[in-house]
């Protein structure tokens, strides 16, 4: 007699190892005690009987094939580059994946930051926590790049779980600055910045939760854009906290940055909860809307952006304002208050990548194998992560236990005031500008440096950038010139979803700069 099938096509009566194993009586008793529940033995027995009934309800999930993201183009697993074939230590892994035979990115070579999944290619997010994991899917942005004819040459090295801007916390090796290999390349998209600046690839993907595209763009002398929150889908990438996760393009020119943005931007059919507010957005052809004529554009130079600036950086930025004026824009100084954003970054990161609790509650793709690999890695390799991640773990665990993350909640509320302050300023100006980094690229710290040295360097790197991850305004870094032979970055900030104006301002600035 033929087997009867369920509505999902699973044969009735089919059995295999259970997906859900209820706790025994002793385990359940300890769970109750840890929760502070005062239960009698009879009550515990009855709760366990209830849990026994869940086994079949969980089992059906074990039989269903999970929907996942597509893999459309053939590739091999690639290879780990030898030191002599790894300029600036910028590559984590090399591969060669050719996309469609034609498209906007035909002839362009790219690197993918190693927090972003490329199917069949090793991925470790800069950390021993994820080492050994190999994604079975391509992130949405990777598919879009390949569909546009791009050629992916590898995974670019990044900081340990992306929580640093220093370029020395990667578990394998520090990433070196192309202008001075004794100095930091910035981070956490360190390898992307170094390899683009060093001419190894045309473009790269970066991720930005507190400046991680803009810092390496500034210190490597290239263009890097953190788009408006949600414009570029984060589907298939490892985040630090959904409300600050951004992914964006890095390139040597504004035109290439705009071209990559128009390929990767746009709605992802409900798979990314960061995009709940953009289902009907139309992505313009940014690269075709660029103009060097900035006549009539109003540029507001943020006074607070210079508060902790080194004198050589300040003088370079102020001198560079002439490029806006020569392109036809007017430049005025303006003032905007600040908001305390550290609780959002630290406590949000703890819950997302250490405690792994922010995966609940949204419709979309859940990369279960990635989540399981991360959970295993956190259990076995937490002692191997950087001083930065250990600091975040201690802060997050304490603030959760002692304060129930109330400071995080208050900071999120205050972020609305900060967002309004920038919205009000951008009602007066087309774009706002400030130094991307208040100081020149710093010397790399020695291996085995103290906790104090590491945490101070990390804190210094956060000046002037994370507020735009919280307010979600687009922010681009472009090279403003050089001081002592090292790049100085200028940050250009615009209205939400007005990347066109930000890119126009950067393009006009770039053209006048290059005339000098």
Number of other residues whose CB lies within 10 A of the CB of residue 136: 14
Helices (H), 198-310: 214-220, 254-264
Token code pair at residue 490 = 């200028």
Please provide the average confidence, as pLDDT, over all residues in the chain. Answer: 92
Token code pair at residue 487 = 């790049």
Helices (H), 53-95: 55-63
> pTM for the full model?
0.92
When comparing pLDDT for 456 and 146, which is higher?
146
| pLDDT over threshold 70, residue 62 | yes
Cα dist. 14→9, 57, 60, 212, 385 in Å?
A: 11, 14, 10, 49, 43
Q: Which 3 state secondary structure label does DSSP give 176?
A: strand
The catalytic residues are 113, 188, 212
| pLDDT over threshold 60, residue 10 | no
Percent of the chain whose predicted confidence (pLDDT) is above 90: 81
**CB of 179 closer than 8 Å to CB of 102:** no
Please name which of 214, 219, 168 lies closest in space to residue 465, comparing C-alpha atoms.
Answer: 214
Domain assignments of the chain as residue spans, ordered by start: 1-65, 83-341+406-515
Cα dist. 160→43, 125, 382, 456, 490 in Å?
A: 46, 7, 11, 17, 26
CA-CA distance, 155 to 75, in Å (whole number)? 14
| pLDDT over threshold 80, residue 30 | yes
CA dihedral sign, ordered 489, 495, 499, 504:
negative
83-341+406-515: CATH number: 3.90.1300.10
Question: For position 322, what pLDDT does the model report?
Answer: 98
Question: For position 8, what pLDDT does the model report?
Answer: 35
CA-CA distance, 113 to 106, in Å (whole number)? 20
> Which is it for strands 176-177 and 330-334: parallel, antiparallel or unpaired?
unpaired
Q: What single DSSP character describes residue 444?
A: P
Token code pair at residue 406 = 């109330």
β-sheet bridge partners, residue 290: none
């Amino acid at each position: 007699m033929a087997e009867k099938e369920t509505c999902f096509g699973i044969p009735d009566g089919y059995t295999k190892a259970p997906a859900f194993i209820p706790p025994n009586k002793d385990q359940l008793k300890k769970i109750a005690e840890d929760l502070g529940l005062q239960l009698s033995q009879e009550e515990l027995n009855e709760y366990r009987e209830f849990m026994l009934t869940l086994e079949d309800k969980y089992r059906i999930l074990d039989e269903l094939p999970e929907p996942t993201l597509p893999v459309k183009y053939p590739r091999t697993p690639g290879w780990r580059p030898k030191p002599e074939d790894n300029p600036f230590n910028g590559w984590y892994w090399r591969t060669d994946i050719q996309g469609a035979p034609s498209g906007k990115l035909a002839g362009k070579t790219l690197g993918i930051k190693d927090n972003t999944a490329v199917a069949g290619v090793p991925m470790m997010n800069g950390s021993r926590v994820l080492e050994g994991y190999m994604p079975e899917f391509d992130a949405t942005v990777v598919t879009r790049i390949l569909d546009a004819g791009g050629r992916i040459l590898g995974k670019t090295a990044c900081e340990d779980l992306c929580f640093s801007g220093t370029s020395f916390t990667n578990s394998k090796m520090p990433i070196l600055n192309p202008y001075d290999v004794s100095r930091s390349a910035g981070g956490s998209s360190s390898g992307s910045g170094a390899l683009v600046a060093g001419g190894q690839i045309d473009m790269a993907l970066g991720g930005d939760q507190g400046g991680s595209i803009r810092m390496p763009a500034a210190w490597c002398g290239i263009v890097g854009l953190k788009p408006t929150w949600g414009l570029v889908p984060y589907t298939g990438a490892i985040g630090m906290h959904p409300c600050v996760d951004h992914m964006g393009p890095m390139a040597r020119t504004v035109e290439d940055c705009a071209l990559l943005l128009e390929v990767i931007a746009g709605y992802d059919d409900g798979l990314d909860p960061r995009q709940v507010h953009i289902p009907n957005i139309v992505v313009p052809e940014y690269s075709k809307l660029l103009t060097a004529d900035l006549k009539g554009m109003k540029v507001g130079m943020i006074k607070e952006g210079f508060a902790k600036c080194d004198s050589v950086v300040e003088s370079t930025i102020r001198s560079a304002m002439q490029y806006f004026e020569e392109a036809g824009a007017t430049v005025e100084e303006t003032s905007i208050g600040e908001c305390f954003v550290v609780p959002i970054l630290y406590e949000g990161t703890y819950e997302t990548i250490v405690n792994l609790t922010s995966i609940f509650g949204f419709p979309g793709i859940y990369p279960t194998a990635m989540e399981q690999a991360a959970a295993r890695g956190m259990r076995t390799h937490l002692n191997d992560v950087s001083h930065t991640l250990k600091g975040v773990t201690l802060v997050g665990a304490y603030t959760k236990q002692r304060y129930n993350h109330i400071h995080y909640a208050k900071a999120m509320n205050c972020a609305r005031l900060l967002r309004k302050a920038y919205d009000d300023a951008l009602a007066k100006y087309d774009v706002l500008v400030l130094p991307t980094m208040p100081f020149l690229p710093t010397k790399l710290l020695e291996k085995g440096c103290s906790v104090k040295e590491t945490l101070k360097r990390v804190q210094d790197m956060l000046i002037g950038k994370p507020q735009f991850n919280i307010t979600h305004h687009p922010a681009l870094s472009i090279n403003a010139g050089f001081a002592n032979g090292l790049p100085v970055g200028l940050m250009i900030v615009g209205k939400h979803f007005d990347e066109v104006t930000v890119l126009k301002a950067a393009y006009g600035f770039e053209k006048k700069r290059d005339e000098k």
